[in-house]
Amino acid sequence: MRDKSTIWDSPTSFGSVSRAFHWVMALMLFWQFASVILRAVAKDTAVYKLFWSAHFQLGFAILVLAILRSIWGFANLSRRPQLEGVTGMLATLVHLLIYGLMLAVPFVALLRNYANDRGFSFLGIQIFGQTGMKNSELALVGNWHGFMGWVLLVLVVGHVAMALIHHFVLRDNTLRYMAGPRQAV
């Protein structure tokens, strides 16, 4: 019997799970980038304190979501819309970099916490505790956290800009993949 599910991706449209991952991640990254932009330009304000207060917890949630999203992406690799040509290769490269940084940026921050003997809890659940030892060499990887975070912001802005240019300027209806009607497979 043919499966008429819209959960999975199809060559003409992303399914409901990929879309949920995409738009929830977009909202979380929006908040996360607001927190670091405000940290750079308005550090003494109440709005900065509000956004920054979620930076660590949201950062960890982004890491978990990025892991789940990567697994789901692999499971759907052969079904999802295929990007073709040189621009397609470029887009694939940018998407891979975004995935890599969504994993690496929070990971190095957590590694820095671990190396600095700080421990980390998510919503009251201990992810790792204090070890009683500091590793200053390992902690140095944390120096990459901010830089890689800014690179991620640039790539995400580029990704959004290219999607909008394709849809509204080149008029190739690109947004249908992530926001149009879903195709049953």
Contact residues for ligand HEM, defined by CB under 6 A:
32, 36, 39-40, 55-56, 59-60, 62, 102, 105-106, 109-110, 113, 120, 145-146, 149-150, 152
- Assess contact for 31 and 24: CB atoms under 8 A: no
CB 14 within 8 A of CB 81: yes
To ligand HEM, the closest distance from the beta carbon of 7 in angstroms equals 26
Task: Say if residues 72 and 99 touch (Cβ distance below 8 Å).
Answer: no
Q: Min. distance of Cβ 97 from ligand HEM in angstroms?
A: 13
For residue 82, which phi and psi values (nearest 5 degrees)? -95, 135
Minimum gap (Å) between residue 174 Cβ and ligand HEM: 25
Q: How far is the CB of 100 from ligand HEM (least distance, A)?
A: 11
Q: Please say which residue, 72 or 150, places its beta carbon nearer to ligand HEM.
A: 150
Report residue 182 CA to chain centroid gap.
23
Q: Which is nearer to ligand HEM, 115 or 152 (CB)?
A: 152
Closest to ligand HEM by CB, 130 vs 173, is 130
Q: Which helix (H) or strand (E) holds 147?
A: helix 143-164
Nearest-CB residue for ligand HEM: 59
Closer by beta carbon to ligand HEM, 147 or else 168: 147
Q: CA 90, 96, 99, 100: dihedral to nearest 10 degrees?
A: -120
How far apart are CB 156 and ligand HEM at their closest, in Å? Answer: 9
Distances (CA, A) of 61 to 64, 99, 157, 169: 5, 14, 21, 35
- Give 23 or 168: the residue with its C-beta nearer to ligand HEM: 23
